[in-house]
Amino acid sequence: ANFSEQVVESFPSDISTGIYYGWACVGNGDVHKMVLSIGWNPFYKNIKKSVEAHIIHTFKQDFYGEILSIVITGYIRPEKNFDSLEALISAIQEDIEEAKRQLDSPDQLKLKEDNFFHLPESKIVNNH
């Protein structure tokens, strides 16, 4: 899930680029583990900073236009360039596995239940 340019610009300017982990919720649905990339994606030579969430869950349908709530709870590594697409994919898989390990800790699991993830009914879109 890619965040809009407006959302990216609202992130704190001093947040380090890199790969993070945490929790994500689409609409008022279930809370899932996620990996978050903040940066320039040097492999793709982006000229604008981006924020992209990879929710570690298989959804039955697209959720374009939905509200995506996230909580960043930890940092995995700095952003870096890769020599090949295969190396990038391998790093992403390692990041996902690291996020899963970290998020299974009792302290992290408590954050999954936070009231932050429960949207008021007026904010729910498309039954989520």
* Residue 82 near residue 43 (C-beta atoms within 8 A): yes
Active site residue 79: no
* Residue 26 near residue 36 (C-beta atoms within 8 A): no
Q: 35-74 as b/e, with b when 16 or more CB fall inside 10 Å? A: bbbbbbbebeeeeebbbebbbbeeeeeebeebebbbbbbe
Q: What is the CA radius of gyration of the chain?
A: 15
Q: How far, in Å, CA of 33 to CA of 112, rounded? A: 9
The residue annotated as part of the active site, out of 5, 9, 52, 97, is: 52
Residues with a catalytic annotation lie at 52
